[in-house]
Structure 1
Amino acid sequence: MSWTLRYAPHIGYRPPFEPMFGALVGSHDPVAHVAFAAEHGFAGVLYAAARARPPEEQARVGQAIAQHGLQAGCLLYTTFDQLKNTSWATDSEDARRWIAAELAQATAAARRVGARQLAVLGGAYAQQPIGPQREAFVQNLRRAADSVARDGFVLCLETLNSQTVPGMLLHHLPDALAVLRAVDHPAVRLIFDTAHVQAMDGDVLTHLDVAWDHIEIVQLADCPGRLEPGTGQVDFAGVLNVLAQRGYPGLVELEHGWAQPGAESERRGLEYLRDLDVAASQSPLKGNAS
């Protein structure tokens, strides 16, 4: 089975960290899900929560990914309970030490898994102006990027839906792009998540075009609900058409749940994605990303 774009299903990306195709695989063993991804012609696997998993599991999954010739998707740089940590928004030596320690653990996990992209999310102080916090974020990113780039890693910023994940440094895509331009470092790039962009800024195709030069990873989820394509507002046919016609080389990470969990939904989801992918390969480029 071949695909036009390089899709990567997740094997657990948020609590309770259930893998995307749990019913079809019949197991939560991440190695079984790597094998499933390979059998279905996917290009990679999104093991986003690897940083919090035991090193033995990280190594086992990394070995399976390599054996199947797949690519590891991005890893969250810290554990899920630290998503709102405000160190990135803080100009202090203590904050920089915390960031360095987290990144050291993240890069060690990434090496075991075979990943090179680290998702960076930062919390904001609620009662303080956001401007100085983003200035600190820029400075901290520059320092961190210099460090991780030496070992071939990329820091990836992501905007988040303020209704579901409030209190973060980046909720709107224009703010993320402003930070990226201020950092101006090749090892700091963007995760374009369709659900978060749709929820916060709307008009995903226009924002895809505006952000194009900064995009490292594309993540697919519908809005509202972070469910499978076709359940909400996102124009996935348009998104995949742009990616295919522009020759997007990166992973398209499938980071969503199911409206109705179970094997039948998972089968339908695979079939629908296949139809979208085939249509994208055959359609002329349209819309705002021309």
Structure 2
Amino acid sequence: MITRRTLVHTALGALAVGAAPSLSGASAKRRFKLKLAPHLGQFTAHAGAGVVDQLKFMADEGFTALEDNSMMQRPIAEQETIARTLEQLGMSLGVFVVAVGGNQNKLFTTGEKDNPKTFVKACQDAVAVAKRVNAKWMTVVPGVFTPRLPIGIQTANAIDVLRAGAEVFEREKLVMVLEPLADSPDLFLRTADQAYELCRAVNSPACKILFDMYHLQQNQGSIIASIDQTWSEIGYFQMGDVPGRLWPGTGEMNYGNIFKHAANKMRESGREFIFGMEHGPWKADKAGERACIESYVAIDAAL
């Protein structure tokens, strides 16, 4: 079975709710111009394992959002703690993954005839979590390419499934974002233009593109041109440098130019996005964590 990638080091640690420090007066040394969203587990060398402490560290460093792919798998008490802490810190919540059948690694495949019913149930479950944690965006990834079916048939099947899910989210003014991935050549959705085609066909404000630059650099390149071409259907951004999937400046991508272009388009269009930091450090190391943060400081200064 093809599995969806996740940030592998998302340690929950001890919540220690009763011992949590007062957050209402927390103030950041800086606030990044873009809504940058780290993951839990990304800065544990500095913040420790406690969720509240991690979120406070992010806010103190100037981050104004959080991503949590695994939100649907967390106990309700943990979800409520995260939501409450984000509100106290003035932070937003970015995407979490729509877990099909309670498993965020299970993808719906484009050829299965029972997909609409299965997917709709997963979307309904995601809505309940989104309301609890004050989320707006949910990640969705179509499954594997099916060699026995013509690509047009698979695309039509995917559209049917996504329309059924979009109806669920649209009623609640929520948005599913479709993510092309580079994890395997067997995956059905791999490029931004293909996601654009699906979104235009579904024709719903509840179905947009998750423009993950790490994956798209590998599958297609031309990131800035692709942003321009698919801009109207982009709902969310994620990033990581290539190769290595670490922070900007560690690989071949010119994130300074990419972010400057995106920021200019945002100003011109009046739109705002969360930028999910779906990359390493992959282990608790203060030097690596600080290098990650400072890479964004340098980019932010030039925006």
TM above 0.5 = yes
State the alpha-carbon separation in 1 of the partners of residues 90 and 185 from structure 2: 38
Q: Does 1:23 align with 2:45?
A: yes
Compute the displacement of 1:254 (Å): 0.8
1:237 Cα offset (Å): 0.6
Find 2:123's aligned residue among 84, 95, 103. Answer: 103
Q: Deviations over 1:94-124 (max 9, x none)?
A: 3222112211221112222211111111212
- Distance (Å, rounded) in 2 between the aligned partners of 1:84 and 1:127: 19
Query: Which residue matches 1:9?
Result: 38
SS at match of 1:140: helix
Structure 2 counterpart of 1:115: 135
RMSD across aligned C-alpha pairs, in angstroms?
1.9
Rate the CA distance shift 1:236–1:174 in 2: closer, same or farther, 3 A: same
| Contact residue 125 and residue 167 of structure 1 kept, 8 A | yes
Counterpart of 1:15 in structure 2 is none
Give, in angstroms, the shift of residue 84 of structure 1: 4.7
> Contact 2:116–2:160 at 8 Å: present in 1 too?
no
Q: Percent identity?
A: 28
The verdict on how the C-alpha distance between 1:110 and 1:165 changes in structure 2, with shifts beyond 3 A counting, is farther
In structure 2, the residue matched to 1:250 is: 273
253, 260, 269: which one aligns with 2:292: 269
Query: Helix, strand or coil for the counterpart of 1:48?
Result: coil
Query: Are positions 1:78 and 2:105 aligned together?
Result: no
Q: TM-score under structure 2 normalisation?
A: 0.83
Cα pair distance change 1:64/1:261, threshold 3 Å: closer
**TM-superposed deviation, 1:178:** 1.2
Worse-superposed segment, 178-187 or 192-201:
178-187
Q: What residue in structure 2 maps to residue 196 of structure 1?
A: 215
Secondary structure at the residue paired with 2:235? strand
Give the alignment's TM-score, normalised by structure 1.
Answer: 0.86
| Contact 1:86 1:125 (C-alpha < 8 Å) held by counterparts | no
Question: Offset of 1:258 from its aligned partner?
Answer: 2.5
In 2, Cα distance between the equivalents of 1:257 and 1:4?
21
The equivalent of 2:195 in structure 1 is 176
**Within 2, Cα distance between the matches of 1:166 and 1:262?**
33
**1:19-57 deviations in whole A, cap 9, x for unaligned?**
111211122x32222212221221211112101111221
Deviations along 1:72-95, one digit per CA (max 9) or x if unpaired, are 0011001695545335x2463x32
- In structure 1, runs of 5+ residues without a counterpart are 12-18, 281-290
The answer to whether the aligner puts 1:47 opposite 2:68 as a matched pair is yes
Equivalent AA in structure 2 for residue 111 of structure 1: K
Distance 1:235 1:112, change over 3 A: same
The Cα offsets for residues 228-286 of structure 1, whole Å up to 9 and x where unpaired, read as 11111211011110122222511111110127751111111111211111112xxxxxx
**C-alpha displacement of 1:168:** 2.1
Please, which runs of 5 or more residues in structure 2 have no aligned partner?
1-29
Aligned to 1:222: 241
Question: Is contact 2:42-2:282 (8 Å) kept?
Answer: no
Are residues 175 and 64 of structure 1, via their aligned partners in 2, closer, same or farther at CA, if it must alter by over 3 Å? Answer: same
1:142 and 2:163 correspond: yes
The aligned length equals 268
1:171–1:30 distance in 2 versus 1, CA, 3 Å: same
Q: Deviations over 1:149-174 (max 9, x none)?
A: 1112101001100xx24432201222
1:154 aligns with one of 169, 175, 186? 175
Asked whether the equivalents of residues 119 and 158 of structure 1 are also in contact (C-alpha less than 8 Å), the reply is yes
In 2, distance between residues paired with 1:63 and 1:9?
17
1:50-65 equivalences under 5 Å are: 50-65=71-86
CA distance in 2, matches of 1:95, 1:178: 20
Deviation at 1:214, TM superposition (A): 1.2
